[in-house]
Amino acid sequence: MIYCVEDERNIRELLVYTLHSTGFTAKGLESGAQLYEALEQEIPELILLDIMMPGEDGYTVLEKIKRMPEVKGVPVIMVTAKGAEFDKVKGLDMGADDYITKPFGMMEFISRVKAVLRRGGSKTEEELVHGPIQLKIKRHEVFENGRKVELTLKEFELLRYLMENRGIVLNRDQLLTRIWGYDFDGETRTVDVHVRTLRQKLGDSGSCIETVRGVGYRIGDAE
Amino acid sequence: MIYCVEDERNIRELLVYTLHSTGFTAKGLESGAQLYEALEQEIPELILLDIMMPGEDGYTVLEKIKRMPEVKGVPVIMVTAKGAEFDKVKGLDMGADDYITKPFGMMEFISRVKAVLRRGGSKTEEELVHGPIQLKIKRHEVFENGRKVELTLKEFELLRYLMENRGIVLNRDQLLTRIWGYDFDGETRTVDVHVRTLRQKLGDSGSCIETVRGVGYRIGDAE
DNA sequence: AATCTTTTCGACAGGATTTTACATAGATTT
DNA sequence: AAATCTATGTAAAATCCTGTCGAAAAGATT
């Protein structure tokens, strides 16, 4: 069972329907209040939580449910509006497991849901490792040879996306869509710049981010 | 090529125009019937399908094309009128890849199109093999007898296109159109040059790219 | 206001691509 | 078989692009 807390009816129904048609059981809820009620009936496997809601916002709700012993362990995916960068980190700090930026495609949505469920009760600290680079998703921390590397949000997401797709080349559009949001227009060197700063901050290990000229970037295989 | 199935002339032309000006090839079609005809000519990369149409509605059309083996894999974006909330999801359930609600902005429209096309690409086969040559599409890597061969973008595309059409001869125009994306009229040695570098880089296996005099090039059958 | 992050700009280098010009091979005609 | 013509191969030069980099503007956050 997955609870979808989202005030907009359209989106809520879309989410629920998509989940259903993928084989999940899901229930749409309009507000934090409805969620609390539902939680007394049944503890779900996952909660989708919109941040911007009239009345109680997503953070407040998250805070509350993370204090409920029964519910604490349930993974939470925050649904954020585009552009609210800081929100994401805040949500993660507060114990959310992942976030997804509106508007999003249904395929991506489903794959996030599956990913979070796969991780299991969110107990285990999910981390990605590639050679000397270690990335702790939930803690939002990156280490290179044990040395902690301070990354900004965009840099972190960039690295994460690359590491999640190790070996395969991601082009600028893909990176832009995934990290900067659904639509992003115009020709810019934004991605390049971030790749560069990322490489710099990663020091010696930075070179593992390869440029595939004319195509995009990738983190090479550990062969 | 993108097919836009939409009964309202204004909208149809607007869609086609927008796609054109973004660099896509697109064709407007008035009805399901016209779509079926067009599908016999050419399988598009994407189909935009209006739901509310006189005669056969979008769902029926979607259902039909999802039963055609050739067309099944083509991504579909449903175009729904505002208010028909439930319909959206019905379309998704039936195999559509995304939906867009009328009225919509052209920017959003384009970004959805791009997003779906990107996704569609990843569904396709992972690697092509011909004799000692192995081509990993997503990784953008090519191996010849296990040895990694560094190819530039154009060389890679050329090899890929040839391998996708193993055994059949591709003439210069086809190659130019498909890889260089433009209809050159004058004589160009561009293709030859790239074929040459490709053969060189492939070493011993390079000889499997045959020249068919007066016609074009092909990668022979593995017989 | 001060600081930090993110985006944009412009110049630049080096590689990729295309063009040019010519050589060579295959076909056709005489 | 020689002459001729066309299609293809090759090398080098010319051009075009793309990624890189420093810096600075623009936005956010404190």
Residue B177's pLDDT band (cuts 50, 70, 90): confident
Q: What is the pLDDT of residue B66?
A: 82
Given an 8 Å threshold on Cβ–Cβ distance, is B88 in contact with A14?
yes
- Which is nearest to A167 in space by CA: B205, B116, B200, B148? B148
Nearest-Cα distance to chain A for B93, in Å, is 6
Q: Tens of pLDDT along A101-140?
A: 766 666 667 777 877 776 654 444 567 888 788 888 777 8
For residue range B57-102, what is the model confidence (pLDDT) as tens digits?
888 888 888 888 778 778 888 887 655 554 555 555 566 777 776 6
| Residues B5 and B34: beta-carbon distance below 8 Å | yes
pLDDT band of residue B199 (cuts 50, 70, 90) is very high
Confidence of residue B122 (pLDDT cuts 50, 70, 90): very low
Q: Which residue has the tokens 């810019």?
A: A188
| pLDDT band at residue A9 under the 50/70/90 scheme | confident
Nearest CA in chain A to B88: A14
Q: Which chain B residues contact residue A24 at CB under 8 A?
A: none
Distance, CA of A219 to CA of A162 (rounded, Å): 6
- Nearest CA to A94 out of A126, A129, A124, A58 is that of A58
* Confidence category of residue B118, pLDDT binned at 50, 70, 90: low
Touching check for B138 and chain A: CB below 8 Å?
A: yes
Tokens of B17: 């125009």
d(CA A37, CA A131): 46
Distance measured from the CA of protein residue A176 to the C1' of nucleotide D21, in angstroms: 21
Look at residue B78 in the predicted model and tell me its pLDDT. Answer: 83
pLDDT at site A126? 65
B87 touches chain A (CB under 8 A): no
Nearest nucleotide, CA B191 to C1': C18
CB contact under 8 A, B89 and A21: yes
